[in-house]
Amino acid sequence: MDLFNHLENNQALFNAIVTSSNDAIVSKTLDGIITSWNPAAEKMFGYLQTEAVGKHISLIIPEDRLSEEDYIIGQIKAGKKVDHFETIRKTKNGQNFPISVTVSPVVDKEGNIIGASKIARDISDRHIAQQEKAELLEKLKELNIRKDEFIALASHELRTPLTSMDAYLQILKRYIDDEKVKVFLEKALAQSKKLNHLISDLLDVSKIESGKLVLRIEKFDIHQLVEDTIDLISKANEFFEITLHSEIDSIQIEGDHYKIEQVITNLLTNAIRYSAGSKQIDVFIKAENGIAIIGVKDYGAGIDSNHFEDIFSRFYQVHQSNNVSGLGLGLYLCKQIISQHWGKIWVESELKKGSTFWIELPVSQC
């Protein structure tokens, strides 16, 4: 008697779960005839239990998806469970909607498969969210294209008057004898040059993100490139002592000579910019295991380790100071250029002791 009561209680509990479930729970024979239909199924598909039980499951399957039933019944007959199968079903009023179904075999006391039990969940909200996400991504893609077009146009339009202005300032400089006025002219020329660099950085970022940055690959001596760049930067910054440390005279690599020069220039100017009073910059060149390694070390304020990854992101600046200007694009561009050369760039730094930026590039094997 206790066993009978236990079984009866279990059946009552099972019926309560089926009745109160928010998911549609449907049973059918191996021929696809519906044998049970819970309240959630009534709500989901629009058919009352009396309208659905005894009918074929195709009642809720769109015509172009009837073949799915053959697949599902085939899996059930083989004793396999169909788990989280996403498809489309239709309501009584003919409206299609997306669902996720899990179908399990129903067996009798002898272990024979006699039907299938299906749990269906309406996933319309998820599909709407996915569609909205796809539409948003498409809009962002379109906006990104327009942004690239704008930056390219703006860069061209800005450069034209800047080039003229720079030329006029250079001509004016020849006719000025007053040293105080010359100082102002030099400052104006320096600001013009800085603005040109900012425009170039913006244009390079746009090209990188659109995949339009073209590298002109050639074989060249990066040791010589570093020496030449140091010489150029030193002449423009006479108060700084930039020392090259190297035990080798030549390292051949394959890459875009001008883009690598842009990286070295950026690292050297950053070292000067963040020198915090120190006038010493050290540059290291070495080769190990087929890798060219270049390091640029300053003895300035240093960088907290929390910023090591972020400093290579767009528009990120560690030191917010009136004495330091820029868009925070330099190191981002360096990383992208080095990555396109199958290399890597990273920083080692300690607060109040300075920073060393390292670059690794593969040595030419030819």
Task: From first to last of the 366 residues of the chain, give the pLDDT tens digit.
Answer: 454 454 454 455 545 566 668 889 999 999 999 999 999 999 999 999 999 999 999 999 999 999 999 999 999 999 999 999 999 999 999 999 999 999 999 998 888 999 999 999 999 988 888 888 888 988 888 887 777 777 767 776 777 788 788 888 888 888 888 888 888 888 888 778 778 777 777 777 777 766 667 788 999 999 999 999 999 889 888 889 999 999 899 999 999 898 899 899 999 999 998 887 889 999 999 999 999 999 999 999 899 888 888 888 877 776 554 455 556 778 988 998 999 999 999 999 988 899 999 999 999 876
- Compute φ and ψ for 88, nearest 5 degrees: -120, 135
pLDDT at position 3, please? 44
Domain with CATH 1.10.287 in the chain: 129-209
Distance CA 47, CA 24 (A): 12
Which long-range contacts (C-beta less than 8 Å, at least 24 apart) are formed by 275-281?
A: 275/240, 275/299, 275/300, 276/300, 276/301, 278/354, 279/239, 279/240, 279/241, 280/240, 280/241, 280/243, 281/240, 281/241, 281/242, 281/243
**Rounded Cα gap, residues 106 and 136, in angstroms:** 44
Rounded-to-integer distance, Cα 300 and Cα 308, Å: 16
pLDDT at position 363: 93
Q: Which CATH number fits domain 217-362: 3.30.565.10, 3.40.50.300, 3.40.920.10, 3.90.1720.10?
A: 3.30.565.10
CB 362 within 8 A of CB 343: yes
The pLDDT value given to residue 12: 52
CATH architecture of 129-209: Orthogonal Bundle (1.10)
The pLDDT value recorded for residue 109 is 86
The span from the CA of 255 to the CA of 285, in Å, is: 17
CATH 3.30.565.10 residue window(s) in the chain: 217-362
- What tokens appear for 299 in the block? 């003895």
Q: What is the pLDDT of residue 173?
A: 84
CATH superfamily ID and name for 2-122: PAS domain (3.30.450.20)
Domain with CATH 3.30.450.20 in the chain: 2-122
| Distance (Å) of CA 257 to CA 223, 231, 285 | 12, 16, 17
Which amino acid, 308? F
Instruction: Report the 10 Å Cβ neighbour count for 211.
Output: 7
In the chain, at which residue ranges do the beta strands (DSSP E only) sit?
24-29, 34-37, 82-90, 96-107, 113-122, 217-221, 241-246, 252-256, 280-288, 291-297, 344-350, 354-362
Does the pTM exceed 0.75?
A: no
At 97 the pLDDT is 93
